[in-house]
Amino acid sequence: MLGRFIKGPGEQRAPQSTQVPATPNGAVVVQPVQSEPATDDFLSLKVDLHRHLIDRFNLTALENASKDEILDEIRPIVREFVRGRNTPLNARELDQLTSDTADEMLGLGPIEPLLKDDSIADILINTHKHVFIERRGVLEETSIRFRDEAHLLRIVNKIVSNIGRRVDESAPMVDARLDDGSRVNIAVRPISVDGPLVSIRKFSKNPYSLERLMAFNSIRQPMVELLRIAVQSRKSILVSGGTGSGKTTLLNALSSYIPPKERLVTIEDAAELQLQQPHVGRLETRPPNVEGKGEVRQRELLKNALR
């Protein structure tokens, strides 16, 4: 299978040389080590390996490949690269390097495992040196970090390019969405003083119901009954609160009482609601792929969408 994704003769850029004298049996250097590789050295190795693979692979062909296919394809190249750098890695570290590199090529690099963790509600990147998460309302710092600012910017550009946007000195702040619907806010220099700032608000795959909120002692039975009657009676309900206070969670829970035969239209600053009804129209007042976010532009977008 090797070579399926390798660039043709006319496509490949000059790759970094990885030729070194071969060992007697041609094996990768996997000498036992007493501790984990130095963090900076391991990060540097991953970033250099990623650049090496980008030079060799046809990225268009990778778009429809699964992670397993990518792993099968890059595993021998990773072994060759590690041997060329004369880096002592044991088998576990070599497998981790291969998996991390696949995440770098297919996903969002170091934070890919965080995106897959359903217990994490928010991912906060404060420059390339610090990555925080919020889990069950508690903020904690992780051991994950990026090699340098350029590494983080490469991931940022991957996010915004997927929705046809850009972020740079002329447009240093941008709102975006990931494929799973997670909301992303990005700020870069010059408005972010110390380096790029990224916040990712993840959404539960299984939205909370009022019954589940009641089980968590977030709401009492009489209030559940009152809200259910208000929704089914088409009463106006105002939900307000600070950031992270549960506004979207409550709205999703309330929406479960809307009959499936109703026609629903949501108008949001950034699309977050997860309505389960079959007939839903979703509008954003600040669509991430449309420039011009003034009030006039917003009114034009909504007017055209509602026609």
160-195 pLDDT per residue, tens: 888 778 888 888 998 888 888 788 999 999 999 999
Q: In the numeric block, which tokens belong to residue 273?
A: 């609601």
Domain ranges of the chain: 1-106, 112-201, 210-302
96 Cβ neighbours under 8 A, 6+ residues apart: none
72-122 pLDDT per residue, tens: 888 888 888 888 888 888 888 888 888 877 777 777 878 888 888 888 989
Domain 112-201 is in which class? alpha beta
Local structure of 248: helix, strand or coil = helix
CATH superfamily, domain 210-302, is P-loop containing nucleotide triphosphate hydrolases (3.40.50.300)
12-53 pLDDT per residue, tens: 444 343 343 444 444 444 333 333 344 567 767 777 777 777
Do residues 78 and 31 lie in contact, with contact meaning Cβ atoms separated by under 8 Å? no
Q: CA–CA distance from 4 to each of 1, 57, 100 (Å)?
A: 6, 9, 21
122-173 pLDDT per residue, tens: 999 999 999 999 988 889 999 888 878 988 998 899 888 887 788 888 889 9
Q: Which helix (H) or strand (E) holds 162?
A: none
Average pLDDT, the chain: 77
pLDDT at 286: 59
Peptide bond into 190 cis (omega under 30): yes
pLDDT at 287: 52
Query: What is the distance between the alpha carbons of residues 201 and 205, in angstroms, rounded to a whole number?
Result: 13
